[in-house]
Structures are given as C-alpha cells and as structure tokens.
Structure 1
Amino acid sequence: MVFKQTPMWVRLLDVPLKKRSLEVMYDVGEFLGGFIEADESDPLGWRDSLRIKILVDINKPLRRGLFLAMGKNQSRWVDINYERLADF
C-alpha cells in the first residue's frame, strides 16, 4: 500500500467578495491537488476566509498561497492556512 495523498481542510484568506463562489473554490481545489468538498456554512460569504477540503500530495511541499486572477492582467495573492496540520 502506497501512502501518497491525504485529505485536508484548508482556509483561503482574503478572497475578494466577487470570487467567493463554488466554481472558484472548485478550481482552486483542483489546482492544489484535488477538490473534495466545500464548506458552505456561510452562504453569503461574509466570513474572512473560505474553507475547502482538498487532496494533498504529501511528497510535495505545501503551498503558502496562490495568485487568484482578478481580471485582465490583474491578480491577487491569497494566503492558505492548513487546518490540523500534523508533523511529518
């Protein structure tokens, strides 16, 4: 049995209001390794972060953040916090 991936909840901090949709969360989750589930407990998007569950490849370093496209030639840095991150 090969242990390569683990599911993990991550928080995306400072996501602009116009980018707080399920489609954007799915795209970000797929970019980070594989989208599993989105926490939709805040349907209006007023919290300070978005929470998604993704598959993380444990053989690669964890990302600290990513650039989110905002329009033509514009992007914004979004920090990533990993919940209950274990020591490897």
Structure 2
Amino acid sequence: MVKEVIAKAWKLAFPMDVKCLNKDTFMFIFNHEVDLHKVYVKRPWSIRGGHLVLKKWSPDITRQEVYFSTSDLWIQIHGLPTPWRTEDNLRKIGAKVGAITEVDITGDPGGAWKRFIRVKFEVNISKPLLPGIFRPRPNKSDLWIGLKYEKLAVLCYQCSIIGHD
C-alpha cells in the first residue's frame, strides 16, 4: 500500500523499492540520486493522513539511531511587520519553533504588503506545535505572530501534536 501511494505522489523517473522494517518504519531505496533529491526537497509528505518523516540513512548507523522525532515543515509566519522581516528576527522566531532549513523569499508577490513569510523549520513533532508567539515591542503591547503549518497530516487541536485527532 505504501509503495502504491507514494509512487503516485512522487512520480519518480526510476523504479524504487520499499522495505517494511516494522509496522510504522519503511526504508525507501532509490535507484537514482535525482529521485531521492526530488522527494527529499519537496518534504513534508503524508500517506493517507499520516505524516511521513523522511530521514537520510547511512549504513554506518543502526536504524535505532535514526531520530524520527523531528521533521521539516513549511510554516507561514503571519503578522510580522515589514521592518522585522529580517534573517535575525526569523532566527529569533526559529529559536522558539525549530531550526530554519529554508526561507521562501520568492513566494507571493507583494513586498511590504505580503501577507506572510514562508519558512521551512526542522520541528520536534513529538512536542506540541506552537500556534504562534508573542514578540515584545518597545512602548507598545506585545505583538502576536501567528504560525500556520502547511501540509500537515492529522493534528490534535486539543494538545497540538501530530499523529492523532
């Protein structure tokens, strides 16, 4: 089932093998580096509503050493004033959310009027996802910066953890 679903979604140029390591861990064996790169760059993926955590694996580590509690997620950052749209401020937000892996500076046109900034973070998905953060402002009340997660699988709106509803 997994191989059938991902074959349709990934549209690979070359054949790929899937090995079931246990009930929720699979090894994808790509026959060409181009397919591997395409799939890895376009993360995150989901399979039938479940979040698919993709990790590169090398034979010098055991599969128990692969850390599946983090995943790259695209996050829209809403409500960020134009002067705060700097790498330094994104890193401050990232300190609360996760490590920045990519910033989409070419997204929707609009410059200063752009509704949000897209940033890909490596997020610990075993912990609750933040709906947003408050950022302090001098001589004004703290500003709420909303976070919207793209392509999320099942998310519990009570505990904010991926994997159940």
Q: TM class by shorter-chain length?
A: 0.7 to 0.9
Q: Distance in 1 between matches of 2:94 and 2:110?
A: 18
Number of the residue aligned with 1:55: 122
Q: Which of 1 and 2 has greater Rg? A: 2
**Number of residue-to-residue matches in the alignment:** 88
2:96 corresponds to 1:14: no
Deviation at 1:73, TM superposition (A): 6.5
Identity of aligned residues (%): 26
Q: Which runs of 5+ in 1 are unaligned?
A: none
CA RMSD of aligned residues (A): 1.9
TM-score normalised over the length of structure 1: 0.85
Aligned pairs for 1:1-88 within 5 A? 1-41=66-106, 44-71=111-138, 74-87=141-154, 88=163
Q: Which has a greater percent of strand?
A: 1
Q: Over residues 28-50 of structure 1, what are the superposed CA-to-partner deviations in whole Å (9 max), with x where a residue is unaligned?
A: 12321211111111593431111
TM-score normalised over the length of structure 2: 0.48
Q: Which has a greater percent of helix?
A: 2
